[in-house]
Amino acid sequence: MKRRIDEAQGMGLLRAYAAGRDLTTADMRTAVRFALEEFAARHPGRSVEIRIPWMGAVQAIPGPTHTRGTPPNVVEMDGPTWLAAVIGRAVDPSKISQSGVRADLGPYFPLFGDAQLRADNLEG
Whether 60 and 36 have beta carbons less than 8 Å apart is answered as: no
The domain ranges of the chain are 7-117
Mean pLDDT of the chain: 91
**pLDDT per position as a tens digit, 50-97:** 999 999 999 999 988 777 777 789 999 999 999 999 999 999 999 999
Statement: residue 1 has pLDDT above 80: no
Fold of 7-117: Nonspecific Lipid-transfer Protein; Chain A (3.30.1050)
**0.85 exceeded by pTM:** yes
Q: Which of 56, 48, 53 is nearest to 75 (CA)?
A: 48
